[in-house]
Amino acid sequence: MAELQFREAIRDAIDEEMARDEKVFIMGEEVAEYNGAYKVTEGLLDKYGFKRVIDTPISELGFAGIGVGAAMNGLRPIVEFMTFNFAVLAADQIINHASKAGYMTGGQITCPMVFRGPNASAGQLGATHSVAFDSTYAHFPGLKVIYVSEPDDAKGLMKAAIRDDNPVLFMESEQMYGMKGEVSDEEDYIIPIGKGKIKREGSDVTIVAHGKMYHVAKQAAAQLEKDGVECEIIDPRTVKPLDLPLIIDSIKKTNRCVVVDEAHPFAGFAAEIGFLIQREAFDYLDAPVQRVTLPDVNAPFAKNLFDAWLPDAKNVIDAVNQVTYRN
């Protein structure tokens, strides 16, 4: 096992796939000569040249669409967005074209590509740079959505995403690029898309958390352990397709559930998980499913307001206390 930063794990995955398959290339703003806005693509230009590591103008709609056309015509593009907030400009290409071309032509077209970049909030970036889009895109059929929480998942799932024949949205967190973690040094390490992981075993409550919120949940679980509450943490890793059986099995064991989600509450990931649990495991629940999300409010700038806005370990502990009736 090697200890790698998030950005290194993603880079290794891209590098290995580019070396393996010359149809894989990466394009986006500042990915080449600047070595990546967050240094994910550092060194790739030197290794693969200007044909396969391509700087684009600030034209998200245009270059995302060029990626879609290139994917249809046999290549395997990785399109980097400097943040998924900017990818909203390219939403037409992702939602109306990449996700639909295959279905509406009766399977004649495939669109094997990855859209990747930082998702959700970083520190005090204000309202336009702080939105979590994983459940938004998961709403639309034909798109796979991954939001990873640890470098190991990033490596294995990025390689799977590049090899997948569907358009995959691969979400990262700007605040996590420097975070280190053990990464498998197994050759050609692939984690199948759609398989979650029990990241902490416990018997009292199931916490479902992915992306940056996994770390918040982990922090909360460590504190709750001191109070004698054993949390089981499930990281679904991929929002879609979703490993629901893993979550349901855990709830059958713990009988309680808290979903921690970095997005807004309405019609989001946490709402969906809550619904699915009540449908699939109602008889096993000892308390209503609780969710911890952002409020239905845009991201504020002021430090104190920002901290109040973003879910933290205390919010998770409060929710666990509610479902375990410990208040």
- For 112-180, give the DSSP string: -EEEEEE-S--SS--GGG----HHHHHTSTT-EEEE--SHHHHHHHHHHHHH-SSEEEEEE-GGGTT-E
CB of 281 to other proteins, least distance (A): 12
Residue type, 295: P
Nearer to other proteins, 51 or 226 (CB): 51
Nearer to other proteins, 108 or 304 (CB): 108
* Alpha-carbon gap, residue 160 to 79, rounded angstroms: 15
CB of 30 to other proteins, least distance (A): 15
Q: Is 129 a catalytic residue?
A: yes
Nearer to other proteins, 164 or 204 (CB): 164
**Contact status, residue 170 vs residue 264, Cβ threshold 8 Å:** no
CB of 137 to other proteins, least distance (A): 14
- Helix (H) or strand (E) segment spanning residue 19: helix 6-20
User: Helices 269-281 and 244-254 meet at what angle, rounded to 10?
Assistant: 60
CB of 129 to other proteins, least distance (A): 21
- Compute φ and ψ for 79, nearest 5 degrees: -105, 115
* Alpha-carbon gap, residue 184 to 181, rounded angstroms: 10
Token pair for 193: 């898309």
Question: Of the listed 80, 97, 129, 210, which one is catalytic?
Answer: 129
CA-closest candidate to residue 112, choices 69, 172, 49: 69
CB of 284 to other proteins, least distance (A): 17
Token pair for 209: 């958390």
Nearer to other proteins, 140 or 306 (CB): 140
Nearer to other proteins, 101 or 251 (CB): 101
* Alpha-carbon gap, residue 161 to 163, rounded angstroms: 5
3-state secondary structure (DSSP) of residue 88? helix
Residues that bind other proteins (CB under 8 A): 25, 51, 56-57, 59, 61-75, 92-93, 96-97, 101-109, 141-142, 144, 166, 241-242, 244, 276, 280
CB of 266 to other proteins, least distance (A): 20
CB of 58 to other proteins, least distance (A): 9
Nearer to other proteins, 96 or 203 (CB): 96
Q: Is 60 a catalytic residue?
A: yes
CA-closest candidate to residue 84, choices 122, 42, 57: 122
Question: Of the listed 17, 29, 60, 80, which one is catalytic?
Answer: 60
Does residue 241 have a cis peptide bond before it, meaning omega lies within 30 degrees of 0? yes
Sorted by sequence, the CB contacts under 8 Å of residue 291 that are 6+ apart come out as: 258, 259, 260, 261, 265, 270, 271, 273, 274, 319
Nearer to other proteins, 105 or 278 (CB): 105
Catalytic residue numbers read 60, 129
